[in-house]
Chain A
């Protein structure tokens, strides 16, 4: 629902923009002197684009830089980045793919990240819906608990969590990480989704109830499909949290065939001397799936995030 209104507004803006542009294009004496409302002078446009170009450059540079370094075939090429242009090759990539455990780690990361996303978004959505729609005793405390959970320093949790997972016999399994990541991602996602559900009119729930759906039925059949943009943001956040986490992964995964990429990458640093070239290639390979995933959901990010932030 809310996404529709955003899209509408964007459409209106676009329409307004083109109309303003066509009228502005007609050269009349009055308009060459005075700017109409909502228009910019040439200088302001240059400043605006200039600012955004500089910001984009700063945002993209480290990402492009590591991609560039990864093309240099020698270990010390990062010291002479200019020389890479002459001897560019994909040898680092083929080495990483053929002679390291990269694919194993990649598979592990994928299982953990997707598992966390599925489980996390599902339980965050149902909790967020309950808090958004039902005034049950304890709903305020629950929201406060979600916020407090964000404050938990891993340093205090990691040792006891290690012991608990050991007792549950979950150490060195995918479940250890999936559950651990849920504790960090779910509270924030529940908060976010609660805000998103708040923007969906109550009448839809009521209509569902009148048609004989249970509260669960209303949630699954009516609300979840409408909340897709919010769910996309929650999924994106959860996936990234799980994909990029280091501390839990390096503590709970003990055998090298269970390492995730975050842990595996560090073996390039500790073993031998730092192998920057291989690390760069691996980094690019790690960044790719996250970027693809991000590209798929980016349209929804703005509306989903702000609904979560403004209404919670």
Chain B
């Protein structure tokens, strides 16, 4: 009797912090065991480098003064703390590079994601119709994603070559102007957007195709009975049904395009196309493409890029959540 009563009383009493942790552990240790590998990898290889990278932005680290080991000799670090100097210089436009690259990066991202989404959606809608050879079209249309980007970008370099590239030869044969795709700043940018669009469409197309296939056909039938035009059906059924898929792929697409490294890096080589570089390739060039390597400057660019994306993602998700509760948790 007394034992039972005591047990009952203990159960009613709110648990202390230690027993709460213990309960939480008992209840959730399976879950924690399953996420532990990811968390471990992310901490060691993402969080620690990130903290170290942020630390570097407050120093004047270059490849000359960072500690390194040559054979058996170890040279210690000699860089020193400089506080916010890098941020101040970069954001005030002192290095003459940040703001031009920033503007171009924004243009690049907006144009590329718009093209990715609109072309991807049109192709997905075409593939979603009943038609002969659908599998064939689908397989061919995914090729730009399936073949490694560093291979196809070389192919694009051959196609776009200023002298004797197939594109300019074709334009010449039609008596059209032959722009310097790989040498002229404006056309370099056009070429970069074109190639990146080509690379990015298949992912959007496939994701949206999956979304389209889950829209119940009855909705379209009902709308058609009510006399809705194709445009009305697209506007009021297709787009709202794709809402959650769209918001995810647009968010991911924006992040990936903002950080798209391979296309620009390989299209213009390690040293060319200075004005067509986006922030991320420019940061890589600061850190690895010159001597001495400016580790601190490169890391500062990296931190700025990361903060911009964080701000964007936070606002984007809040805006999506306001539009539709639980659309993208």
A residues near B (Cβ < 8 Å) are: 6, 9, 13, 17, 37-38, 40, 45, 48-49, 51-52, 55-56, 58-63, 65-66, 69, 78-81, 123-124, 126-127, 129-131, 134, 136-137, 139-140, 142-143, 145, 147-161, 163-164, 166, 179-180, 182-183, 186-188, 190, 214-216, 219, 240, 243-244, 246-247, 251, 262, 265, 269, 276, 279-280, 283, 286-287, 290-291, 294-295, 298, 301-307, 309-312
B144, A59: Cβ atoms closer than 8 Å = yes
Chain A residue with minimal CB distance to B305? A153
Q: Which residues of A contact B123 (CB under 8 A)?
A: 52, 55
A244, B206: Cβ atoms closer than 8 Å = no
A sample of 18 more A-B contacts (CB under 8 A), given A55-B137, A149-B42, is: A59-B141, A59-B201, A124-B38, A126-B35, A142-B39, A151-B313, A155-B299, A155-B302, A158-B288, A160-B48, A161-B45, A187-B42, A240-B145, A262-B150, A287-B148, A305-B203, A306-B245, A309-B244
Q: Across the A-B interface, how many residue pairs have beta carbons closer than 8 Å?
A: 300
Interface check B99, CB cutoff 8 A: no
Chain B residue with minimal CB distance to A126? B34
Q: Which residues of A contact B258 (CB under 8 A)?
A: 151
Interface check B249, CB cutoff 8 A: yes
Interface check B147, CB cutoff 8 A: yes
> Complex: how many Å from CA A168 to CA B299?
22
Interface check B152, CB cutoff 8 A: yes
Residues of B122-164 whose CB lies within 8 A of A: 122-123, 126-127, 129-131, 133, 137-152, 154-156, 158-159, 161, 163-164
B143, A247: Cβ atoms closer than 8 Å = no
User: Can you spell out 22 A-B residue pairs with CB atoms less than 8 angstroms apart?
Assistant: A40-B129, A55-B123, A55-B137, A59-B142, A62-B198, A66-B151, A123-B41, A130-B34, A136-B28, A148-B310, A153-B279, A155-B299, A158-B288, A159-B53, A161-B49, A164-B45, A214-B30, A244-B149, A287-B148, A294-B146, A305-B206, A310-B248
Chain B residue with minimal CB distance to A14? B130
B residues near A (Cβ < 8 Å) are: 24, 27-28, 30-32, 34-35, 37-39, 41-42, 44-46, 48-50, 52-54, 56, 69, 122-123, 126-127, 129-131, 133, 137-152, 154-156, 158-159, 161, 163-164, 166, 198, 201-203, 206-211, 213-214, 221, 224, 244-245, 248-249, 251-252, 255-256, 258-259, 261-262, 265-266, 269, 279-280, 283-284, 286-288, 295, 298-299, 301-303, 305-306, 309-310, 313, 328-329
> Complex: how many Å from CA A156 to CA B123?
36
Q: Which residues of B contact A301 (CB under 8 A)?
A: 142, 206
Chain B residue with minimal CB distance to A12? B217
Query: What is the distance, in angstroms, from A74's C-beta to the closest C-beta of chain B?
Result: 14
A244, B262: Cβ atoms closer than 8 Å = yes
Query: What is the distance, in angstroms, from A4's C-beta to the closest C-beta of chain B?
Result: 14
The residue that B245 contacts in the complex, of A6, A161, A309, with Cβ under 8 A, is A309
Q: A183-B41, A309-B210 are in contact. Are A246 and B150 (CB under 8 A)?
A: yes
> Complex: how many Å from CA A183 to CA B37?
11
Residue of B155, B210, B303 ringed by the most chain A CB atoms within 10 A: B155
Chain A residue with minimal CB distance to B166? A81
The residue that A290 contacts in the complex, of B48, B147, B305, with Cβ under 8 A, is B147
A310, B53: Cβ atoms closer than 8 Å = no
> Complex: how many Å from CA A80 to CA B163?
11
Chain A residue with minimal CB distance to B40? A123
Q: Which residues of B contact A219 (CB under 8 A)?
A: 34
B37, A244: Cβ atoms closer than 8 Å = no
Query: What is the distance, in angstroms, from A283's C-beta to the closest C-beta of chain B?
Result: 4
Chain B residue with minimal CB distance to A276? B158
The residue that A295 contacts in the complex, of B139, B206, B251, with Cβ under 8 A, is B139
Q: For chain A, what secondary structure do more than half of its interface residues adopt (helix, strand, loop), or is it mixed? A: helix
The residue that B248 contacts in the complex, of A56, A131, A142, A312, with Cβ under 8 A, is A312
Chain B residue with minimal CB distance to A165? B45
Q: A58-B198, A291-B146 are in contact. Are A155 and B287 (CB under 8 A)?
A: yes
Query: What is the distance, in angstroms, from B129's C-beta to the closest C-beta of chain A?
Result: 6
Q: Which residues of A contact B299 (CB under 8 A)?
A: 155-156, 159
A156, B303: Cβ atoms closer than 8 Å = yes
Query: What is the distance, in angstroms, from A138's C-beta to the closest C-beta of chain B?
Result: 8
> Complex: how many Å from CA A154 to CA B214?
36
The residue that B151 contacts in the complex, of A151, A182, A287, with Cβ under 8 A, is A287
> Complex: how many Å from CA A246 to CA B291?
21
A163, B52: Cβ atoms closer than 8 Å = yes
B252, A150: Cβ atoms closer than 8 Å = yes
Chain A residue with minimal CB distance to B212? A306
> Complex: how many Å from CA A310 to CA B214?
10
Residue of B41, B161, B164, B261 ringed by the most chain A CB atoms within 10 A: B41
> Complex: how many Å from CA A90 to CA B321?
57
Q: Which residues of A contact B52 (CB under 8 A)?
A: 160, 163-164
> Complex: how many Å from CA A186 to CA B40?
12
Chain B residue with minimal CB distance to A148? B310
Q: A123-B38, A183-B41, A309-B249 are in contact. Are A244 and B46 (CB under 8 A)?
A: no
**Which 5 A-B pairs have CB atoms at the shortest separation, nearest pair first?**
A306-B210, A156-B302, A244-B148, A160-B49, A155-B283
A152, B46: Cβ atoms closer than 8 Å = yes
Q: Which residues of A contact B35 (CB under 8 A)?
A: 126-127, 130-131, 142
Q: A143-B329, A183-B46, A302-B213 are in contact. Are A153 and B126 (CB under 8 A)?
A: no
